[in-house]
Amino acid sequence: MVARIATVAFEGTQVLDIDVQVQMSAGVVSFNLVGLPDKAVAESRERVRAALFSLGLSLPAKRITVNLAPADVLKEGSHFDLPIALALLAGMGVLPLEEMQRYTALGELALDGVLSPVAGVLPAAVTAATRNRGLICPERNGGEAVWAGEIEVLAAPSLLAIINHFKGTQVLGRPTAQVQDIGDEVTPDLRDIKGQETAKRALEVAASGGHNLLMIGPPGSGKSMLASRLPGILPPLAADEALDVSMIHSLAGLLDEGRLLRRRPFRDPHHSASLPALVGGGLRAKPGEISLAHHGVLFLDELPEFQRATLEALRQPMETGRAVVSRANHHVTYPARVQLVAAMNPCRCGHLDDPERTCGRAPKCAMDYQSRISGPLFDRIDLHIDVPAVSAADLSLPPPREDSATVAARVAETRAIQTERYQRIAEESSKAQQPRTNAEADGELLERVAAPDAAGRALLTQAAEQLKLSARGYHRVLRVARTLADMAGSDAVVKSHVAEALGYRRIVLGK
């Protein structure tokens, strides 16, 4: 007789069905785990044995084989403890054999039978819902599991609670759905920034159209300060986006008490971050910072200090919106649609534009410093701005009147215009995926939605020739001009929009 229960394994964001099978037969007394387990899974034998012992149960004196099928999928993580224990208990007649097959289970066991939270409960619950199964998970993951919809969720504090539930002596109620609390968190406000009007305008343009932004300026001019205020002016996550991002955070084990995210993620990895930390992967495949920032902001402060290979690896995800991670014998993918915000000093000493403070090697050192970042990466950034040092006069000004909430309201309006536009286009055309923001528009679509009027086109053509704009550079100007027109509530892209957009093109340092 074989006792079974379903569980899952993860490959990127893909959830694979795993069948835990337990057979107890006559023979030499043993307890074996087969089916390509990694170290954490192999160790679950000991945890399961100890947890059963703590309940006063011991394993039958039989030959016990636990098989995790299919055998060719590598089983990683500690969430296999619970399904193995449940299948054993079903095999021992403690739990109802037939009924257990209606559930997907995942959770880690402590030696005393208490269930510890695990990563990936939300995606597992969503998959269980499509298979018409219930879900058994640790109590602290219950808040995320119920977001999967109309499925039965048993979120138990311990193994004993599950046994009692099936015996009917202590029924586990449905957990309540948890969401991130954004009420009382203090977020930095734009009012703290004095002067820097151009930079603030660029920040609003970036937020409005979802554009990537690069800030260049001397130390202490407020670049990091500006970047940290971007999430405060971005619109909150739409329901489908919130679920998407929360799935990734769940896989990384970062969902705080199973609360669904509501605020756009803002990730600011340190420049010493390794390639797997940024793009994903590593010993156990984990989403990287670029995926954790999905639908939000990835802020790379001190851009040239990042390792070159790490930066280059960002190019492909920035283009496709997906991070592909190579594993030993296959690839896994994670979604990675981010808005990149980067900040850098113009040169190593940081004072290139200040003749009194600049070092003796300028402007050569600026070129060296800048050359650490490849042209194609610069090319993927729509907005390039100079953030000069703030003057003492600016600093003594009273705080500006406009706060983040006011700017956020304007940004939301501009975003609504874009959503409406691209939805209309999606309905007209048969293409499945349409952009949501101007920053995602490209090629033919861009030419269609952002065609400037005659004067605007004349200016653009002239600038393209004089500045030797590449095709990508040309499109970048159009894209930003479209956002500027949307911000002004104008259907047509006119000369002034093109002129402002041209101002945000790449600044070549040291020249």
Ligand X SMILES: Nc1ncnc2c1ncn2[C@@H]1O[C@H](COP(=O)(O)OP(=O)(O)OP(=O)(O)O)[C@@H](O)[C@H]1O
193 lines the binding site for ligand X (CB under 6 A): yes
101 lines the binding site for ligand X (CB under 6 A): no
Name the binder of 220 from ligand X, Mg ion, none, CB < 5-8 A by kind. Answer: ligand X
Q: Which amino acid is at 350?
A: G
Name the binder of 495 from ligand X, Mg ion, none, CB < 5-8 A by kind. Answer: none
Its sign, for the CA torsion 377, 378, 384, 390, is: positive
Task: Report d(CA 493, CA 497) in Å as an integer.
Answer: 6
Cross-strand pairs, 341? 213, 299
Q: How many residues bind ligand X (CB under 6 A)?
A: 15
Task: Report d(CA 208, CA 497) in Å as an integer.
Answer: 14
Q: At what angle do helices 471-487 and 454-466 cross, to 10 degrees?
A: 140
Closest separation between CB of residue 342 and ligand X, Å? 12
116 lines the binding site for ligand X (CB under 6 A): no
- Cβ-Cβ contacts under 8 Å for 158 (sequence gap 6 or more): 112, 113, 114, 115
Name the helix (H) or strand (E) containing 327. Answer: none
390 lines the binding site for ligand X (CB under 6 A): yes
User: Which is closer to ligand X, CB of 193 or CB of 463?
Assistant: 193
Contact 481, 456 (CB under 8 A): yes
223 lines the binding site for ligand X (CB under 6 A): yes
Closest separation between CB of residue 165 and ligand X, Å? 53
Name the binder of 36 from ligand X, Mg ion, none, CB < 5-8 A by kind. Answer: none
Closest separation between CB of residue 179 and Mg ion, Å? 32
Nearest partner of 296 among 323, 272, 326, 266, judged by Cα: 266
Maximum Cα–Cα distance across the chain: 89
User: Which is closer to ligand X, CB of 118 or CB of 347?
Assistant: 347
Structure letter (DSSP) for residue 289: H
198 lines the binding site for ligand X (CB under 6 A): no
224 lines the binding site for Mg ion (CB under 5 A): yes
Closest separation between CB of residue 87 and ligand X, Å? 54
DSSP one-letter string for 144-208: HHGGG-S--EEEESBHHHHHHHHHTSSPPPPPPP-B---SS-----GGG--S-HHHHHHHHHHHH
Task: Report d(CA 137, CA 6) in Å as an integer.
Answer: 12
203 lines the binding site for ligand X (CB under 6 A): no
216 lines the binding site for ligand X (CB under 6 A): no
Closest separation between CB of residue 380 and ligand X, Å? 22
Q: What is the 3-state secondary structure (H, E, C) of 330-396?
A: CEEEEECCCEEEEEECCCCCCCCCCCCCCCCCCCHHHHHHHCCCCHHHHHCCCEEEECCCCCHHHHC
User: Which is closer to ligand X, CB of 161 or CB of 193?
Assistant: 193
Closest separation between CB of residue 247 and ligand X, Å? 33
345 lines the binding site for ligand X (CB under 6 A): yes
Peptide bond into 96 cis (omega under 30): no
Closest separation between CB of residue 223 and ligand X, Å? 3
- Residue of 69, 73, 225, 277 that binds ligand X (CB under 6 A): 225
CA 332 to chain centroid, in Å, comes to: 15
Closest separation between CB of residue 270 and Mg ion, Å? 12
Name the binder of 158 from ligand X, Mg ion, none, CB < 5-8 A by kind. Answer: none
Which range, of 15-23, 172-180, 189-197, 481-489, touches ligand X by CB under 6 A?
Answer: 189-197
Q: Determine the residue with CB nearest ligand X.
A: 222
User: Which is closer to Mg ion, CB of 66 or CB of 230?
Assistant: 230
Closest separation between CB of residue 273 and ligand X, Å? 16
User: Which is closer to ligand X, CB of 122 or CB of 230?
Assistant: 230
Name the helix (H) or strand (E) containing 463. Answer: helix 454-466
Sheet strands (E) in 51-142: 63-69, 103-105, 108-109, 115-116, 134-138
**273: its two tokens:** 């971050």
Torsion of CA 289, 292, 295, 297, to 10 degrees: -40
Name the binder of 310 from ligand X, Mg ion, none, CB < 5-8 A by kind. Answer: none
- Residue of 219, 321, 376, 399 that binds ligand X (CB under 6 A): 219
220 lines the binding site for ligand X (CB under 6 A): yes
Name the binder of 219 from ligand X, Mg ion, none, CB < 5-8 A by kind. Answer: ligand X
Closest separation between CB of residue 202 and ligand X, Å? 14
Name the binder of 482 from Mg ion, ligand X, none, CB < 5-8 A by kind. Answer: none
Phi, psi (5° rounding) for residue 402?
-80, 125
Name the binder of 345 from Mg ion, ligand X, none, CB < 5-8 A by kind. Answer: ligand X
User: Which is closer to Mg ion, CB of 101 or CB of 224?
Assistant: 224
Which range, of 137-145, 223-231, 456-464, 476-484, touches ligand X by CB under 6 A?
Answer: 223-231
User: Which is closer to ligand X, CB of 48 or CB of 347?
Assistant: 347
Residues of this chain that interact with Mg ion (CB under 5 A) are 224
Residues of this chain that interact with ligand X (CB under 6 A) are 193-196, 217, 219-225, 343, 345, 390
